[in-house]
Structure 1
Amino acid sequence: MYSSKLSHFTHDTFAIIANPFADAIKGADYDVQDGLVHIRIQQRNGRKTLTTVQGLSADYDLKKIVRACKKEFACNGTVIEHPEYGEVLQLQGDQRENICQFLTKSGLAKPDQLKVHGF
């Protein structure tokens, strides 16, 4: 097993640069619902689960965030385009605790902005 403590992060892990196209992405239809980052878990088949993260600012390059998460959590992940929620991070496994710690340690979200859903 791996340690859920994220003390092994290096400073390079958090070198996530801002998305240079963020202003172009923000249009009239751009709407961050309530300023919260929603972290959900979905049951796939058997014991397999997916963790989704929705509500991160478009100022961040989500692909770089996924790349860092995949490396730190030893899981697979991708950025998907959801018709209602826009770009959503999708990680394999139950990564709710890990992603909460990652987002707060990296300064991408404050603890009071995180809303964790699931069983």
Structure 2
Amino acid sequence: MAAIQNIREAKDDPFADEIGQSSANNEYQKGVIHIRIQQRNGRKTLTTVQGISDAYDKKKLAKYAKREFACNGTVVMHPEYGEVLQFQGDQRNNIARFLTRIQLASEEQIKMHGF
């Protein structure tokens, strides 16, 4: 958590878009972010995050989320949805809180799906 707070104070914002503007200066992203859970086998689940703008570096988002939630995750290319973040386990609530805390999306822009 302290790492996320220090990110806002650092010169290089890891969530800065490719144009060079900092996400701290931007409004929330446009569009809806969908957070879904998928059943794998047995009790194993997979959490997917779809709809994050291409202006943000998804690999850096995944890196900081993995560290904070103590889970594994990756960015995969989905034929229909584009780049999608995937995390092990049911991380829906954690991801939603993380995205609102770093001011990537508002609570109204996050839609959670699943059982």
With over 3 angstroms needed to count, the CA separation of the structure-2 counterparts of 1:13 and 1:41, relative to structure 1, is: farther
Which of 31, 38, 41 aligns to 2:37? It is 41
Q: Would you say 1:111 and 2:107 are equivalent positions?
A: yes
**What runs of 5+ residues in structure 1 fail to find an aligned partner?**
1-7, 22-33
Give TM-score, length-normalised by structure 2: 0.80
Q: Corresponding residue for 2:75?
A: 79
Deviations 1:56-99 (Å, cap 9, x if unpaired)? Answer: 01110000000001000000000000000000000000000000
Aligned pairs, number: 101
The runs of 4+ residues in structure 1 deviating greater than 4 Å are none
The 5 Å alignment of 1:1-119 reads 8-10=1-3, 11-13=5-7, 15-20=13-18, 35-119=31-115
Q: Secondary structure at the match of 2:37?
A: strand
* Letter in structure 2 aligned against 1:65: L
* Letter in structure 1 aligned against 2:95: I
| Aligned-pair Cα RMSD in Å | 1.9
Percent of residue pairs identical: 60
**What runs of 5+ residues in structure 2 fail to find an aligned partner?**
20-29
Give TM-score, length-normalised by structure 1: 0.78
CA distance in 2, matches of 1:62, 1:69: 10
